[in-house]
Amino acid sequence: MLQKVASSCSCASHAFRVLDAEDHPVEREVYDPPRPQPDGSTVVTWLEPGETLELSITVHSGDRPPVARVEEPETVLVFDSPEVGVVRVGYRFAIDPRLEVLPGAEIPLRPIGGASPGVEAIELFPAQGKPGFEVTRIDGTGDGFALTPIEATRPGGHRYRLDYGPFPADRRRFVHDLDFHTDLAGGYAVKVRVLVDVVAELQLIGGVRSLTFGRFDFTEPSYRDLELRYHGDLEKPLLGVHGLRLADKEGNDVSGRFSTEILAKGGKRWAVRVHYLGGLDASRFQGSFLLETAVPGFEELEINVTGFRVDR
């Protein structure tokens, strides 16, 4: 009885047929895997004496990234008969792409906030020594993904602006395929897979609304950063900090020993920096400040601050 069939290559598919002793096809369904029935029984694949189970493996090379290489996968057949056991069928094929893709056949797109769009550029061009081509059809646009032709940067290239998002609030990750069909022989096509995470419009790196100095030397000035990343369209999503209130363990206000500033880190990243100015005679401090932003839903965030003297 055939129990299971599995291939190590996701691009491979398989098909079976039964042949008699003279290699003529037998009209009999092959169950892969065995099929349970409502009455509790199981329908299995069976062979008469002299019959042969023929396996055909098809490699869908269009599902593989267009990068020159050789692959050697295998397909495994598992039988319940101890005389047969496990049969491994190995095969070898070469990928010789006729075109290349920039930035790649699998593109991790920039994470975006659910209500914001993102932009990427995709370019297809002839591989070295391969003929030019035209893109005849693109499948996979729509549902938050749109392609617009733009000026190519490579000889014979076809470049597109990819606009993605906004996406529904209940989705957090998208794995989406764009299929580029060409006029090359054999209906040559390339699959470009894009991956995008939908995140909060404003991310606090580390995922917590707190900033800690940990244990440090109170006799020396110091600082700590709370890093943020913005995924929306506003040019300056961070407005400022106010309401810094810090106290020692006796409840005395020590806010004057601290200052704050906001630093642009580039690439829609910022840091809220809290400076310890020195001169504090205490064993610890704690408190908070308010971070004001222009991002909807994040207009005012309370950030906790703590610190402990290393020598007490």
Backbone angles phi, psi at 117, to 5 degrees: -90, 170
CA distance 57 to 145: 33
Give the pLDDT score at 120.
93
Q: How far apart are CA 21 and CA 48, in angstroms?
A: 9
Nearest by Cα to 64 from 174, 161, 224, 189: 189
Cβ neighbours for 28, distance < 8 A, ≥ 6 positions apart: 18
Q: Say how far apart CA 161 and CA 82 lie, in whole Å.
A: 57
Closest of 114, 135, 133 to residue 192, by C-alpha = 135
CA gap 226, 210 in Å, rounded: 8
The neighbour count for residue 86, using CB atoms within 10 Å, is 10
Are the CB atoms for 145 and 178 separated by under 8 Å?
A: yes
pTM of the model: 0.57
Residue 118, pLDDT score: 84
Q: pLDDT by residue for the chain (312 residues), tens digit each?
A: 677 788 887 778 888 888 888 889 888 888 777 788 888 777 777 778 888 888 888 877 666 667 777 888 898 888 777 667 788 888 887 778 899 999 998 899 887 776 678 899 999 999 989 999 999 999 999 988 999 999 999 999 999 999 998 887 677 888 999 999 999 998 899 999 999 988 888 888 887 899 999 999 999 999 999 999 888 777 778 789 999 999 999 999 999 999 999 999 988 889 999 999 999 999 999 999 999 998 888 899 999 999 999 987
